[in-house]
Structure 1
């Protein structure tokens, strides 16, 4: 009988001493026991290292590494290099897993023969739990569904064969100030098929200081343009129609980001400046084609409101 595959749990850490113990303990509580925990400390200045070293002394499956502050992308890349597992799972240092996550995902990967697996997740803060995602699931070639936000794949839900990452030279891009994990996972989605466990098995922490400040997603538009260019030259063993992917980017994703950015400014009473319109011309918004999903309908309503507010045709 074959032994269960080793899973390397990748946790980048930077000044999250108040959360890291609970996060690691959620891994140690897994019903699936054949894992290693790779914690890459990205130059933390708090007492997180002391907390982790205390955990290392109690469980040899935990491995701690320190690097000078280089950002979360470099931390994840370096942790992957240190990993020994056949599979890699990602977990942010303030998020949590439910106890059966790894077991159910490995079982699903084994039964489907696919290379990657995602699951459901729920937002939470100290006082309460919030919305559950995704609202629907799809399996196999899911890149276009994810681009159109019909399906949501989040970092701490994914388990993937390490060989897919290594053989396709997929890395987290250092220097990205926005959505460095999104860039990684969209490339992964292009290269392999995903299965799912239709169950909420991960908890996404919303910190108090992040609830009132949403990031400016304007740089994401350039990221999507670069991804579209990469798709045209990249090879995939999955028979995607590249034109379908390009259409999803041009007629859904980029316009939806532009709608979000302009709507965010409208809600905050900020008048868009010339620089905004230069980077995100209003024509991008009119390129939006209605996607029949909850998110798609909300975006279409926002588009109509923006058209009324700014009077563009």
Structure 2
């Protein structure tokens, strides 16, 4: 297919790029990979049935990169596209880059440094910068405030997995570098349109080793009107409830400190208050033991019939 470059110091890392209707952004996204101070060992891009010319742009940008390979497919959704790209890739670690985001220039170098310093990790996530549709870094606004709240909660309670449930401070799959071992063990990204990233993080904390490097910016997350998360808030909330129920089922007391003390009660109560999904969570936790695997559970929870009924419950207002 193509040859690896001379191996960079540290583990091999493949960058996988799911592309969907982002012709406006894909060139800058790919350039942020090509400009890495410690290069990716391979780049796998899959166009997920786009109707614009983003794939043609991607091919031009990567034309002189022997370690890059591009594919097209009919639309299958982000989780399927990422899984297919990872299946094609060959490195020890995988870094996902969504086609509207950017890597910081030292992202891969920093991840290799952390693995060298701290030993093999299953997942690394760093700090997140926010940019607008035109690529301008944002110092204020809804997304910046959201990230600030997420860090405040984490700093206050020091419970990284519970803090993710409260507000996903990792923000996106673009902020994850993870081992092939973890992806294999997880069964890949699960069939969730909006929360496959949060589910994967929950699995990583429960079954792997996680390094949080939040004081160093690893990515720029682009906020624009076509962000997938903005499509259907009621469906997003159903998926969030399902993922939280799965985390409670799998991790249970490990979401909290070993003391199970007053601060744990305070943190847990604040999460439940913030999410406002108690009815849904109680139902999902009641039925979760009936399913052998979390993929089956997610399929049930997000089915059209059940989702319609649940969306009436959880819709704001």
Instruction: Tell me if the contact between 1:16 and 1:48 (Cα under 8 Å) persists in the aligned partners.
Output: yes
What SS does the aligned partner of 2:218 have? Answer: strand
What is the aligned partner in structure 2 of residue 129 from structure 1? 137
Pair 1:192-2:192 in alignment: no
Asked which structure has the greater CA Rg, the reply is: 1
Pair 1:120-2:123 in alignment: no
Q: 1:141 and 1:28, CA in 2 relative to 1: closer, same or farther beyond 3 A?
A: farther
Instruction: Tell me if the contact between 2:128 and 2:218 (Cα under 8 Å) persists in the aligned partners.
Output: yes
What is the aligned partner in structure 2 of residue 95 from structure 1? 101
What is the aligned partner in structure 2 of residue 294 from structure 1? none
With normalisation by structure 1, the TM-score equals: 0.70
How far apart, CA to CA, are the structure 2 residues paired with 1:241 and 1:212? Answer: 31
Q: Aligned match of 2:246 in 212, 226, 231?
A: 226
What is the aligned partner in structure 2 of residue 179 from structure 1? 195
Q: 1:82 and 1:222, CA in 2 relative to 1: closer, same or farther beyond 3 A?
A: same
Pair 1:72-2:92 in alignment: no
Instruction: Tell me if the contact between 1:170 and 1:187 (Cα under 8 Å) persists in the aligned partners.
Output: no
Query: How much has 1:102 moved relative to structure 2?
Result: 0.8
Query: How much has 1:222 moved relative to structure 2?
Result: 3.0
Query: How much has 1:73 moved relative to structure 2?
Result: 0.7
Instruction: Tell me if the contact between 1:23 and 1:94 (Cα under 8 Å) persists in the aligned partners.
Output: yes
Instruction: Tell me if the contact between 1:224 and 1:254 (Cα under 8 Å) persists in the aligned partners.
Output: no
Q: Aligned match of 1:146 in 159, 164, 170?
A: 164
Query: How much has 1:278 moved relative to structure 2?
Result: 6.7
What is the aligned partner in structure 1 of residue 141 from structure 2? none
Instruction: Tell me if the contact between 2:18 and 2:78 (Cα under 8 Å) persists in the aligned partners.
Output: yes
Of 49-58 and 6-15, more deviation after overlay is shown by 49-58
Q: Deviations over 1:114-167 (max 9, x none)?
A: 3321111111112732236663678x983234234495453212211111221x
What is the aligned partner in structure 2 of residue 298 from structure 1? none
Q: Which runs of 5+ in 1 are unaligned?
A: 233-239, 261-274, 282-305
Query: How much has 1:36 moved relative to structure 2?
Result: 1.2
What SS does the aligned partner of 1:135 have? Answer: helix
Q: Which runs of 5+ in 2 are unaligned?
A: 1-6, 139-143, 279-308
With normalisation by structure 2, the TM-score equals: 0.69
Q: 1:141 and 1:34, CA in 2 relative to 1: closer, same or farther beyond 3 A?
A: farther
Q: 1:68 and 1:189, CA in 2 relative to 1: closer, same or farther beyond 3 A?
A: same
What SS does the aligned partner of 1:196 have? Answer: strand
How far apart, CA to CA, are the structure 2 residues paired with 1:145 and 1:212? Answer: 22
Q: 1:226 and 1:250, CA in 2 relative to 1: closer, same or farther beyond 3 A?
A: farther
Pair 1:256-2:274 in alignment: yes
Of 192-201 and 69-78, more deviation after overlay is shown by 192-201
Question: What's the C-alpha RMSD, in Å, of the aligned pairs?
Answer: 3.7
How far apart, CA to CA, are the structure 1 residues paired with 2:230 and 2:95? Answer: 29
Of 57-66 and 205-214, more deviation after overlay is shown by 205-214
Q: 1:128 and 1:213, CA in 2 relative to 1: closer, same or farther beyond 3 A?
A: farther
Alignment of 1:1-313 (within 5 A): 4-113=10-119, 114-125=121-132, 126=134, 128-130=136-138, 131=144, 135=151, 142-149=160-167, 152=170, 154-166=172-184, 168-174=185-191, 176-197=192-213, 198-209=215-226, 215-216=233-234, 217-219=236-238, 220-231=240-251, 241=254, 251-258=269-276, 279-280=313-314
Query: How much has 1:80 moved relative to structure 2?
Result: 0.8
